[in-house]
């Protein structure tokens, strides 16, 4: 394959993809708010994710465009932060739509971030792309607006795929780092009631799934999750065992609310039941390296 563009590719997920694809593409370009430069053969090009400034020329003749742009939801949901969370997703997607349409030879395939949080809180039903039920709250409405901004502009020469991604567990970043730290100091017990489901995916399967979607030219919405969501209480018990700590103090909702206030985040990130499964990936024949959480933890801690 010729050329890969990753918008907002300097973060955890972007670097997972860079490591995976570095020998599969002749050229990789990262759109970044930082300075334009070339490091280890990777080209970094400045953009503000809102306006044209020359970066749009990089999209010409690209094979694949992956957009990861969006303010982290790991923050307090103040009115200011809510606005930034929404606009950072909508504006970057809008300007990329305009850029793709301006291209004489646009990217063949555009994969845009979305989130498995788009489905309702569910203890009773597994949510797939066909039968999954969409909920109604701030996070869900952000996801709906994001996907609408992505799909409403038709790009006749570019395949579009929205990636409804769950928590990605990785060795060098993402949610696994603080969870591992909690478990190692004895706070690896259930969070809240503990019956809420955790949908997750190992970083290797995340990258392999993106590769598979590109290879198979899969369009539309697709869940990027492992086939085995687990209740929070089991997730944390297995993590305790994996790190070798004999017990885990549970954190009820009251203490989570206090803790989340001091670390400037929201309890929704751990209390929502995300019971999501990858129906389309499995139907297309994708094979997971880590279907279950135990071997995933073993690998991440090795």
Strand order in the sheet with 109-115: 37-39, 42-46, 27-32, 3-7, 64-67, 109-115, 159-165, 220-224
Beta bridge partners of 42: 39
How confident is the model at residue 220, as a pLDDT?
98
End-to-end CA distance of the chain: 32
Supply the DSSP string of 20-89, one letter for each residue.
HHTTT-SEEEEEESS--EEETTEEEEE--SSS-SSGGGGGTT-SEEEE-----S-S---HHHHHHHHHHH
What totals of helices (H) and strands (E) does the chain contain, helices first?
A: 10, 12
| 152 pLDDT above the threshold of 80 | yes
- Tell me the mean pLDDT in the region 260-269: 72
Q: Are 183 and 245 in contact (CB under 8 A)?
A: yes
- Please tell me the distance from the alpha carbon of residue 100 to that of residue 98, in angstroms, as a whole number: 6
pLDDT of residue 258: 77
Please give the structure tokens belonging to residue 70: 């969006």
111, 161, 285 from 150: Cα distances, Å = 10, 9, 26
Q: What is the pLDDT of residues 18-52, one digit of tens each?
A: 999 999 999 999 999 999 999 999 999 999 999 99
**Angle between the N-to-C axes of helices 79-102 and 138-151, in degrees from 0 to 180, rounded to the nearest 10:** 10
178-200 pLDDT tens trace: 889 989 999 889 999 999 999 99
Give me the residues paired with residue 294 across strands.
Answer: none
Phi, psi of 194, deg, nearest 5: 85, -5
Closest residue by Cα to residue 170 from 301, 75, 60, 57: 301
> Burial of 61 by CB count in 10 Å (0-12 exposed, 13-18 middle, 19+ buried)?
middle
Residue 261 pLDDT: 66
pTM: 0.95
Q: Quote the tokens at residue 183.
A: 């478990």
pLDDT at 162 over 90: yes
State yes or no: pLDDT of 263 exceeds 80: no
Structure tokens at 79: 């009115």
Q: Are strands 27-32 and 3-7 parallel, antiparallel or unpaired?
A: parallel
State the pLDDT at residue 219.
98
Helix (H) / strand (E) containing 217: none
Q: What is the pLDDT of residues 217-242, one digit of tens each?
A: 999 999 999 999 999 999 999 999 99
């Amino acid at each position: 394959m010729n050329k890969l563009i990753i918008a907002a590719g300097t973060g955890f997920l972007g670097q997972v993809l860079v490591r995976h694809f570095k020998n599969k593409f002749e050229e990789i370009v990262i759109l970044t708010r930082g300075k334009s430069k070339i490091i280890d053969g990777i080209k970094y090009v400045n953009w503000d994710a809102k306006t044209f400034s020359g970066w749009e020329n990089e999209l010409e003749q690209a094979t694949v465009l992956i957009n990861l742009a969006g303010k982290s939801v790991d923050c307090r949901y103040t009115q200011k932060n809510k606005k930034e969370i929404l606009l950072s997703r909508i504006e970057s997607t809008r300007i990329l739509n305009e850029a793709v349409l301006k291209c004489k030879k646009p990217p063949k395939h555009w994969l845009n971030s979305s989130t498995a949080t788009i489905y309702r809180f569910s203890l009773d039903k597994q949510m797939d792309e066909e039968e999954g039920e969409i909920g109604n709250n701030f996070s869900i409405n952000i996801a709906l607006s994001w996907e609408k901004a992505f799909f409403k502009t038709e790009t006749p020469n570019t395949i579009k795929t929205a990636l409804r991604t769950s928590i990605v567990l990785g060795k060098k970043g993402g949610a696994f780092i603080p969870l591992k730290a909690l478990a190692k100091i004895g706070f690896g017990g259930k969070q809240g009631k503990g019956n809420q489901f955790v949908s997750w995916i190992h970083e290797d399967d995340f990258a392999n799934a993106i590769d598979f979607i590109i290879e198979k030219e899969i369009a539309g919405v697709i869940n990027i999750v492992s086939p085995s969501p687990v209740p929070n209480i089991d997730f944390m018990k297995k993590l305790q065992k994996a790190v070798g700590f004999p017990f885990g103090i549970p954190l009820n909702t009251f203490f989570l609310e206090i803790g989340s206030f001091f670390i400037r985040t929201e309890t929704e990130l751990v209390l929502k039941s995300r019971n999501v499964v990858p129906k389309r990936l499995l139907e297309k024949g994708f094979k997971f390296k880590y279907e279950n959480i135990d071997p995933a933890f073993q690998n991440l801690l090795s």
